[in-house]
Amino acid sequence: MKVAFPVQENSGLASQVYGHFGSAKNFIIVETQDESFQNISNQNHEHVHGQCRPLDALGRKPVDAVVVGGIGKGALFKLNAAGVKIYRAVEGSIKDNLKLIKAGRLPEFTLNQTCAGHGESDCSH
């Protein structure tokens, strides 16, 4: 399974998972079988709220899942429509979250847990 993790800085599997999908500067895509990974620069990280293009943010690389601290409804809907599952990250590194997703212990995001806007207090993270 290929899983994308939004990060601000690429420190490999030690990178801290970033709290907002659309404004992350990078995504690290991990192949869960062998934990190989690649870094994708998010060319869409500076966008007007609500105008996130999540598939473009991922460099149009195919992924099965995204693990993130927070995500907007539009991005969640677009990714789910493309067959991508979205999981809520716990604080910590990609490695920490990778262990949990492999064990089936990360919950999937629902629409009522999404961010209404940057700086809003109703985000789930």
pLDDT < 50 positions in the chain: 47, 118-122
Backbone angles phi and psi of 105, in degrees to 5: -110, 10
Amino acid present at 57: A
In a domain, 45, yes or no: yes
In a domain, 121, yes or no: no
In a domain, 118, yes or no: no
In the prediction, which pLDDT does 118 show? 44
Indicate the pTM of the whole model.
0.86
Q: What is the pLDDT of residues 73-98, one digit of tens each?
A: 888 999 999 999 999 999 999 999 99
In a domain, 119, yes or no: no
Number of domains in the chain: 1
In a domain, 40, yes or no: yes
In the prediction, which pLDDT does 54 show? 83
In a domain, 27, yes or no: yes
Distance, CA of 92 to CA of 76 (rounded, Å)? 22
In the prediction, which pLDDT does 115 show? 64
Residues 6+ apart with CB under 8 A from 101: 3, 32, 65, 67, 87
In a domain, 123, yes or no: no
Q: Which helix (H) or strand (E) holds 99?
A: helix 94-102
Range of the domain at 22: 2-113
Cα 10 from chain centre = 14
In a domain, 44, yes or no: yes
Residue 107's CATH number: 3.30.420.130
CA distances from 67 to 48, 78 (A): 22, 15
